[in-house]
Amino acid sequence: MQSNVIRTALIALRILIIVLGCMWVVSAINSDDPNGPVESLVNLNLYTGAVCVLAILGFGLFHFAQKLATNPKRAMGTLIGFVIFFLAGLIAWSMADTTVTSAMVAGGATVTEGDVKIADASIQFIYILGILALLSILVVEGKSILKNWL
């Protein structure tokens, strides 16, 4: 019963997101200001990213507290994951460039050094997380192969 309610709520949420997206596209096509839709999309992207980060932190902290209460040794893995995640973010932020090029402002958009730093840090963060994911897959699969081979 409860799973049907959750499934129905998720379907309704998907439909709402699709309808709102269609309305946004139609309003962007009919807009007189060519930069307006792009700026609103960038803002929407930033807000969505913030919500995703809050959800990740919320669920992560919930599961960490749950593991800490039931199995403290397994909670250390979650804590190590949080530390690596935040270190990757700090590394990406420190590597980010703040140079505003002429191509960025060619269309008449207002671009600040902070905007460039956020965008560059986000891209660097995705690259770092991708590399970490590949490394973790290689380590786990390598251990599995060695375990079965030896």
Q: What is the pLDDT of residues 110-141, one digit of tens each?
A: 778 888 899 899 999 999 999 999 999 999 99
Examine the domain organization and report whether 121 and 142 are in the same domain. yes
pLDDT of residue 89: 94
pLDDT of residue 102: 77
Examine the domain organization and report whether 62 and 132 are in the same domain. yes
The crossing angle, in degrees rounded to 10, of helices 2-29 and 35-70 is: 160
Examine the domain organization and report whether 87 and 55 are in the same domain. yes
Examine the domain organization and report whether 6 and 43 are in the same domain. no
What is this structure's pTM? 0.58
Examine the domain organization and report whether 64 and 128 are in the same domain. yes
Examine the domain organization and report whether 97 and 129 are in the same domain. yes
Residue 108 φ/ψ region, left for φ over 0, alpha for ψ in the -120 to 50 degree band, beta for the rest: left
**Cβ(128)–Cβ(84) below 8 Å:** no
Question: For the chain, how many structural domains are there in total?
Answer: 2
Query: Which ranges of 30-106 does DSSP label H, i.e. alpha helix?
Result: 35-70, 72-95
Q: Which of 46, 74, 78, 73 is nearest to 61 (CA)?
A: 78
- Domain range for residue 124? 34-149
Above 70 in pLDDT, residue 25?
Answer: yes
Q: Report the length, in residues, of the chain.
A: 150
Q: What is the pLDDT of residues 58-94, one digit of tens each?
A: 888 888 888 888 888 888 887 888 899 899 999 999 9
What is the rounded distance in angstroms from the CA atom of residue 27 to the CA atom of residue 47?
Answer: 20
pLDDT of residue 125: 94
Examine the domain organization and report whether 116 and 85 are in the same domain. yes
Examine the domain organization and report whether 11 and 42 are in the same domain. no
Q: What is the DSSP letter of 104?
A: T
What is the rounded distance in angstroms from the CA atom of residue 42 to the CA atom of residue 113?
Answer: 16
**Greater confidence, 98 or 31?**
98
Nearby residues of 129 by Cβ (< 8 Å), 6 or more positions away: 85, 88
Of the candidate ranges 6-15, 19-28, 32-41, 85-94, the one whose mean pLDDT is the lowest = 32-41
pLDDT of residue 27: 76
Examine the domain organization and report whether 42 and 11 are in the same domain. no
**Mean pLDDT confidence for 94-115:** 80
Query: 121 burial class (0-12, 13-18, 19+ CB within 10 angstroms)?
Result: buried
Examine the domain organization and report whether 91 and 25 are in the same domain. no
Examine the domain organization and report whether 46 and 67 are in the same domain. yes
Examine the domain organization and report whether 119 and 55 are in the same domain. yes
